[in-house]
Amino acid sequence: MSFKNMTIDELIGLRDELWAKYEQKKSLNLDLSMARGKPETAQLDLSTPMLDKVRESTHFICEDGMDVRNYGVLSGITEARRFFANILDVGMDNIVIYGTASLTLMYDTVARAYIKGILGSKPWCKLDKVKFLCPVPGYDRHFTICEFFGIEMINIPMDENGPDMDMVERLVSEDESIKGIWCVPKYSNPSGIVYSDEVVRRFARLRPAAKDFRIYWDNAYFIHHLYRDNQPEILNIVTECEKAGNPDMVYEFCSTSKITFPGSGVSALAASKANIDETIKFMGAQTISHDKVNQLRHVMFLQNKEQLKEHMMKHADIMRPKFEKVLDMLEAELGDADIATWTKPLGGYFISFDAMDGCAKKIVEMCSDAGIILTDAGATYPYGNDPRDSNIRIAPSFPPLEELITACEVFIICVKIVSIDKILESKKKGYIKTNGTYYR
Amino acid sequence: MSFKNMTIDELIGLRDELWAKYEQKKSLNLDLSMARGKPETAQLDLSTPMLDKVRESTHFICEDGMDVRNYGVLSGITEARRFFANILDVGMDNIVIYGTASLTLMYDTVARAYIKGILGSKPWCKLDKVKFLCPVPGYDRHFTICEFFGIEMINIPMDENGPDMDMVERLVSEDESIKGIWCVPKYSNPSGIVYSDEVVRRFARLRPAAKDFRIYWDNAYFIHHLYRDNQPEILNIVTECEKAGNPDMVYEFCSTSKITFPGSGVSALAASKANIDETIKFMGAQTISHDKVNQLRHVMFLQNKEQLKEHMMKHADIMRPKFEKVLDMLEAELGDADIATWTKPLGGYFISFDAMDGCAKKIVEMCSDAGIILTDAGATYPYGNDPRDSNIRIAPSFPPLEELITACEVFIICVKIVSIDKILESKKKGYIKTNGTYYR
């Protein structure tokens, strides 16, 4: 039954019941987290055999003829470049291998634009104003990078097909100070949205005012499906940009962070040869070579796209029950309450939950008071400012199933209590809430 | 006999003999390198057992309670921080663990000063001019970092005790645009110089005009001795700066690159707590955590300072015969020729060779024509410009002994030929050199 159709007395009665349950949960001194998109231990175990690779003298000489244990091969060993070229479906010349995580690669890519400029354009540090478009809700660490560099962020609404492309096209064509847009095109963080072919094509055909405008295409979940039989694919942005006569307009990022070990993986940049060559040139001031032992270890373990797909299905088998459990609980408890909506992703690491306007912060706070840690409300928006205060990112991956159920129960109780308060507030002013109880 | 006391006829005769030898060597189509400070394969094998560490489920939980295979612990696992605190003799709070190589750490440290400034000072990108002092000869990659950021470099002469401290003191106290100095204080690259206690104390007592002046103390060879019984030590710069009331004035860098695997090691920054805290804060925009599997693997293998010292003596046993062979050959062939000087280091990776003025480029070129690759002449100076064109960095570590002997033979022949040409040129103008032969 829709909460909004309940009488004040019914709402208050329900709230009293919920509050009792909340107090009971609180008394358990829980310490659970649905905050970050971290794999659980069983997922890490899937890749532990990788650590047995590259240990014997016959393994150390890579195709380039170098001992992977020594200095050299700035752009990454050929084996690793071939692997990423294969899985991202681009040429070997379109790939450079980076360090252990794509976040660092993204930060450094922005940093180089800031310090040196892009393909001859003025360095951003010499400009009065640099702006980025940020489809929302989005990934908090993208926004942190912008804040670090003093880049102004502009929110772009998203629907189930991706960002509002009318708005993107208009803004980038009008404003030369707009230098980039952050995209998580597949299983978007946090909404799980998969960009439609039309959206990808419109991206590729952008006509930005700024020559050094780039699409920062964070393809973090390119192969992170939850299901064997329902695996949406997106168009290849590097190829589409090339076809549209905009070969240099995109940097595509990916890594093995959620394939093998987060923070101890291998990352890669895919882009036009001109972008790659400039990246390698600038990278040469920062490093002699990235960790080639780790590169070779990864390639020997993951092998190729087919093996990788199999490996990812093992992740899916661990993740799927958790996603389905959370979605089932939300549906059962909130399905007809008319106080929230949420996404039902086919991959990635998150469920995006939208509470009633003005409720997200309070829900997260109540959860936290009961020992359930969620991503900060607002974190999915630039400057931590969700204008509607409604979005909450749920990360079901890390806790074991039993803990996840407990965390989700608390979450649902909090959603209901905060929503009732909101409804009561709007239905009738003058109710005084003290210590969880309403007095008339 | 001093070449300079030989008659013109004697010199020409000798030159003809040397040229014949040179042509003979050239005909061998050699392809040898004494260019980079790379360990040889036998040295890499010393650390290969490290790859057997951290493979089983009981190994993965670090002291911080985290699984090293997952996200987290931005500043480095406690085990690694304790290890580096121990070997650098600073507190745990004075250490942050970084990625696979100290070069990246140094680049990023300069980059953050450029982008964000240091402890509240103006970001360098907003200044008209930033200058660094560069003791010469020095490490080419330090100079590359300065060039990348458009930092003007000022040469500082060195003697056997370290940089000319009168000059350093005067310049940093006078000029607010001087923001740093690069130092390799122990077994300096390339000279092998070890800074004296007096030099270190004068560094610690500097009174720079710029608040954000820092000593960039690249302690790359802190434990890289060649001998068991002659191991010079330097004063602890972090402690000395603290004592002198300049706690924030230094960043000390080190890594395991030449302890375990170059490019796949672990690096660390030692500095005041204020510097470390700022580094961690800024680092948070760039990464979630560095490779903790590799951190733990390293600590399990190297264990502590005592074990590390033993491990380094195994490196020394491989390196020492090569250094001694090169030094013996130089002494035997050039010891009384009065055409060159060179350093006799007790550790590190290089021998610094000074030919007669105006000869270095020609020597390196002749060597290259005969298939012997040396570091580019001039590379040991900012902008690749050795004002005397005399310094050549010899790196004896990489080639096996037999190849090293061949490379060194060619090098000595080239040094002699180029020196004779120089002497002849100065003794009498009008000699015509054609294709290696002099005509009167």
Contacts of A177 by beta carbon, 8 Å cutoff, 6+ apart = A127, A128, A129, A130, A131, A210
pLDDT-derived band at B101, boundaries 50, 70, 90 = very high
How far apart are the C-alpha atoms of A215 and A129, rounded to whole Å?
18
Residues of A in contact with B263 (CB under 8 A): 70-72, 287-292
Radius of gyration of chain B measured on its C-alpha atoms: 24
Report the predicted TM-score, pTM, of the whole model to 2 decimal places: 0.95
Closest listed residue to residue B284, CA positions, set B83, B71, B93: B71
How much is the average pLDDT of A58-85?
A: 94
How far apart are the C-alpha atoms of A117 and B364, rounded to whole Å?
35
| Structure confidence by residue, pLDDT tens digits, A150-179 | 999 999 999 999 999 999 999 999 999 999
Distance from CA of B51 to the nearest CA of A (A): 6
Distance from CA of B214 to the nearest CA of A (A): 19
- Residue B57 is predicted with a pLDDT of 76
| Structure confidence by residue, pLDDT tens digits, B141-152 | 999 999 999 999
The alpha carbon dihedral of A11, A17, A19, A21 has a sign of: negative
Residues of B in contact with A48 (CB under 8 A): 55, 57, 69
Q: Does B318 touch chain A (CB under 8 A)?
A: no
Q: State the angle between helix axes of B305-334 and B401-427 in degrees (0 to 180), rounded to the nearest 10.
A: 40
How much is the average pLDDT of B427-440?
A: 57
How much is the average pLDDT of B85-99?
A: 97
Under a CB-based contact definition with an 8 Å cutoff, are residues B292 and B62 in contact?
yes
Phi (first) and psi of residue B184, to 5 degrees = -115, 90
pLDDT at B440 over 50: no
Q: CB contacts < 8 Å between A and B, how many? A: 150
pLDDT at A417 over 60: yes
- Residue B124 is predicted with a pLDDT of 98
pLDDT at B431 over 70: no
Q: Does A25 touch chain B (CB under 8 A)?
A: no
- Residue B259 is predicted with a pLDDT of 97
| Structure confidence by residue, pLDDT tens digits, B72-86 | 999 999 999 999 999
Cα B158 to Cα A222, B162, B195, B254: the distances in Å are 54, 5, 10, 22
Q: Tokens 């909460």 — which residue?
A: A3
How far apart are the C-alpha atoms of A282 and A285, rounded to whole Å?
6
Q: B291 and A69 in contact by Cβ < 8 A? A: no
For residues B366 and B59, the model is more confident at B366
Distance from CA of A227 to the nearest CA of B (A): 24
How far apart are the C-alpha atoms of A314 and A90, rounded to whole Å?
26
The residue of chain B nearest to residue A101, with distances taken between CA atoms, is B287
User: Residues A223-226: contacts with CB within 8 Å, 24+ apart?
Assistant: A223/A87, A223/A259, A223/A308, A223/A309, A223/A312, A224/A187, A224/A258, A224/A312, A224/A315, A224/A347, A224/A348, A224/A349, A225/A312, A225/A313, A225/A316, A225/A346, A225/A347, A226/A316, A226/A319, A226/A320, A226/A323, A226/A345, A226/A346, A226/A347
- Residue B59 is predicted with a pLDDT of 85
How far apart are the C-alpha atoms of B105 and B377, rounded to whole Å?
27
How far apart are the C-alpha atoms of B180 and B132, rounded to whole Å?
5
pLDDT at A432 over 60: no
Closest listed residue to residue A257, CA positions, set A103, A86, A80: A103
| Structure confidence by residue, pLDDT tens digits, B179-194 | 999 999 999 999 999 9
DSSP A379: T
Under a CB-based contact definition with an 8 Å cutoff, are residues B256 and B302 in contact?
yes
As a dihedral over the C-alpha atoms of residue A361, residue B287, residue A168, residue A344, rounded to 10 degrees, the angle is -50
Percentage above 90 pLDDT, chain B = 93
Helical ranges in A65-131 per DSSP H: 78-88, 102-116
Closest listed residue to residue A38, CA positions, set A408, A405, A396, A410: A396
Tell me the residues of chain A between 248 and 267 that have a Cβ less than 8 Å away from chain B. 261-264
Under a CB-based contact definition with an 8 Å cutoff, are residues A62 and A296 in contact?
yes
Of B36, B69, B261, Cβ closest to residue A261:
B69
- Residue B435 is predicted with a pLDDT of 52
The residue of chain A nearest to residue B100, with distances taken between CA atoms, is A291
Edge-first strand order for the sheet with A340-342 is: A340-342, A351-355, A391-394
Q: Tokens 């003697």 — which residue?
A: B159
In the beta sheet, which residues pair with residue A392? A353
Tell me the residues of chain B between 288 and 307 that have a Cβ less than 8 Å away from chain A. 288-294
Tell me the residues of chain A between 144 and 173 that have a Cβ less than 8 Å away from chain B. 144-145, 147-149
Contacts of B405 by beta carbon, 8 Å cutoff, 6+ apart = B325, B329
Structure tokens belonging to residue B151: 């930092």
Structure tokens belonging to residue A339: 């106080």
Domains in chain A with CATH codes:
3-44+310-439 (3.90.1150.10), 70-302 (3.40.640.10)
Q: A294 and B290 in contact by Cβ < 8 A? A: no
How much is the average pLDDT of B229-256?
A: 97
pLDDT-derived band at A213, boundaries 50, 70, 90 = very high
Closest listed residue to residue B187, CA positions, set B214, B156, B218, B166: B218
In the beta sheet, which residues pair with residue A163? A158
Other Cβ atoms closer than 10 A to A371: 17
Q: What is the 3-state secondary structure (H, E, C) of chain B?
A: CCHHHCCHHHHHHHHHHHHHHHHHHHCCCCCEEECCCCCCHHHHHHHHHHHHCCCCHHHCECCCCCECCCCCCCCCCHHHHHHHHHHHCCCHHHEEECCCCHHHHHHHHHHHHHHHCCCCCCCHHHCCCCEEEEEECCCHHHHHHHHHCCCEEEEEEEECCEECHHHHHHHHHHCCCEEEEEECCCCCCCCCCCCCHHHHHHHHCCCCCCCCCEEEEECCCCCCECCCCCCCCCCCHHHHHHHCCCHHHEEEEEECCCCCCCCCCCEEEEECHHHHHHHHHHHCCCCCCCCHHHHHHHHHHHCCHHHHHHHHHHHHHHHHHHHHHHHHHHHHHHCCCCCEEECCCCECCCEEEEECCCCHHHHHHHHHHCCEEECCCCCCCHHHCCCCCCEEEECCCCCCHHHHHHHHHHHHHHHHHHHHHHHHHHHCCCCEEECCEEEC
Distance from CA of A145 to the nearest CA of B (A): 6
| Structure confidence by residue, pLDDT tens digits, A125-157 | 999 999 999 999 999 999 999 999 999 999 999
Residues of B in contact with A100 (CB under 8 A): 99-100, 290-291
| Structure confidence by residue, pLDDT tens digits, A286-320 | 999 999 999 999 999 999 999 999 999 999 999 99
Q: How far is CA B341 from the centre of its chain?
A: 19
| Structure confidence by residue, pLDDT tens digits, B26-67 | 999 999 999 988 999 999 999 999 999 888 778 899 999 999
How far apart are the C-alpha atoms of A254 and A88, rounded to whole Å?
9
Other Cβ atoms closer than 10 A to A201: 16
pLDDT at A431 over 90: no
- Residue A10 is predicted with a pLDDT of 94
Closest listed residue to residue A95, CA positions, set A105, A103, A84: A84
Of A41, A45, A144, Cβ closest to residue B285:
A144
Q: A44 and B263 in contact by Cβ < 8 A? A: no
Residues of B in contact with A261 (CB under 8 A): 69-70, 293
Q: Tokens 């931590």 — which residue?
A: A384
- Residue B432 is predicted with a pLDDT of 53
- Residue B395 is predicted with a pLDDT of 95
Q: Which class for B147: exposed (0-12), middle (13-18), buried (19 or more C-beta within 10 A)?
A: middle
How far apart are the C-alpha atoms of A360 and B386, rounded to whole Å?
64
- Residue A117 is predicted with a pLDDT of 98
Helical ranges in A284-378 per DSSP H: 292-302, 305-334, 360-369
- Residue B123 is predicted with a pLDDT of 98
- Residue A36 is predicted with a pLDDT of 87
- Residue A438 is predicted with a pLDDT of 55
Cα A419 to Cα A360, A364, A381, B274: the distances in Å are 10, 13, 21, 44
Asked if this assembly's ipTM is beyond 0.90, the reply is: yes
Q: In whole numbers, what is the pLDDT of chain B averaged over residues?
A: 95
